[in-house]
A = this chain, B = another copy of it.
Amino acid sequence: MNNIISEIKVSNNIVLLCHNNPDGDAVGSTIAMYILLKRLGKEVDIVLDTLPKRFNFLKEYQDIKKESTKKYDTAVILDTGSIDRVNSAYLLDTVSKKLVIDHHMTNTMYGDVNLVEDYPACCEIIYNLIKEMNVSIDEDLALPLAVGLLTDTGGFAHKNVLPSTFTMAAELSSLVDLSDIYIKVLRTITINQFNIKKKALDNLELYNNNALAVSFITSEDMERYNVDEDECGILVGIPLEIDTVEVSIFLRKYPNQTRVSLRSGHIDVSRIASIFGGGGHVNAAGITTAMPYEDLKEKLIIEVGKSINEWNNCHR
């Protein structure tokens, strides 16, 4: 952490970047860092070519640039595990220094200085950095930090939440209305999302004694209900609330390809995704393939079914 702090101190013209298709933690970390650096008197821009609109209640969201031709001396890249996932990556070619701050332990250490620590949200590292720099946390800083903390912990529900995460939440909750942010970022969907969710529930099938849930939507459904891929992100997780469901397979059927999201309680779905050319984490993985839909679906049900049976034999 001290290396990052001393590098930040000698940098004056900084660009902040994060990963493609930024989530709440990427946006929250970037904006919190932006506020911090401005307070330290730095020239700083956030440049992101893609940006979901659902975080536009953060007032600094309006300052985010879609592109920039400015010359920066330093890039600070937040919440991004590898260089091929950097949003607005063209800016990396022009800077003389890359500082990486991330909480993915799979980080490839592509920065000149890398602060990679195992926290549930990158925002918790930024929080620690702010504390270490003796900058006081007010409402403006607490808001983006809270967005990152809430979204990446699933509202404090995930396994990796630490006692320190709750201690951070205690401080943030004394500064901002955490419940209000919680509802906004985790419990609010649009009518369009609600309608596509109903469609996905109608298409749901259960296999392996209700341990495997399979559902799908088509690109025509997405057009009919006017939702994009980002807005369909919630759908794969829904069947996991059923007490018997161990794996959820969710397919999106496009004319020339199929995209698959896989979620699990315990089983390694990244291994299954890799069989079909995809990848990801143990409990959350994905596939994009041109393989015919029906064939893919059948093979996935067989592969996941095998894993469920193996797991049942070992653990139940």
User: Is B170 a contact of A241 with CB atoms below 8 Å?
Assistant: no
Q: Which residues of B contact A206 (CB under 8 A)?
A: 191
Q: Which residues of B contact A169 (CB under 8 A)?
A: 156, 166, 169
User: Is A187 a contact of B241 with CB atoms below 8 Å?
Assistant: yes
Q: Judge whether A157 is part of the interface by a CB distance below 8 angstroms.
A: yes
The CA-CA distance from A113 to B163 in the complex, in Å, is 35
Q: Which residues of B contact A136 (CB under 8 A)?
A: none
Q: Judge whether A190 is part of the interface by a CB distance below 8 angstroms.
A: yes
Partner among B178, B179, B188 whose Cβ is within 8 Å of the Cβ of A241 = B188
User: Is B161 a contact of A242 with CB atoms below 8 Å?
Assistant: no
In A234-256, the 8 Å CB interface with B consists of 240-244
Q: Which residues of B contact A180 (CB under 8 A)?
A: 159
User: Is A179 a contact of B162 with CB atoms below 8 Å?
Assistant: no
This chain's copy number in the assembly: 2
Q: Judge whether A155 is part of the interface by a CB distance below 8 angstroms.
A: yes
The CA-CA distance from A186 to B241 in the complex, in Å, is 9
Q: Judge whether A257 is part of the interface by a CB distance below 8 angstroms.
A: no
User: Is A183 a contact of B157 with CB atoms below 8 Å?
Assistant: yes
Nearest-CB distance from A120 to chain B (Å)?
Answer: 10
- Grouping DSSP codes into helix (H, G, I), strand (E, B) and loop, the A interface class, with mixed when no group exceeds half, is helix
Partner among B166, B173, B178, B244 whose Cβ is within 8 Å of the Cβ of A173 = B166
Nearest-CB distance from A22 to chain B (Å)?
Answer: 21
Contact flag A170-B164 (CB < 8 Å), given A198-B201, A241-B188, A242-B189: yes
Q: Judge whether A167 is part of the interface by a CB distance below 8 angstroms.
A: yes
Q: Could you give, for residues 57-101 of chain A, a 1 whenever the CB lies within 8 Å of some chain B CB and a 0 otherwise? A: 000000000000000000000000000000000000000000000
Smallest CB-CB A-B distances: 9 pairs: A166-B170, A166-B169, A163-B170, A163-B174, A159-B179, A157-B182, A166-B166, A167-B170, A188-B243
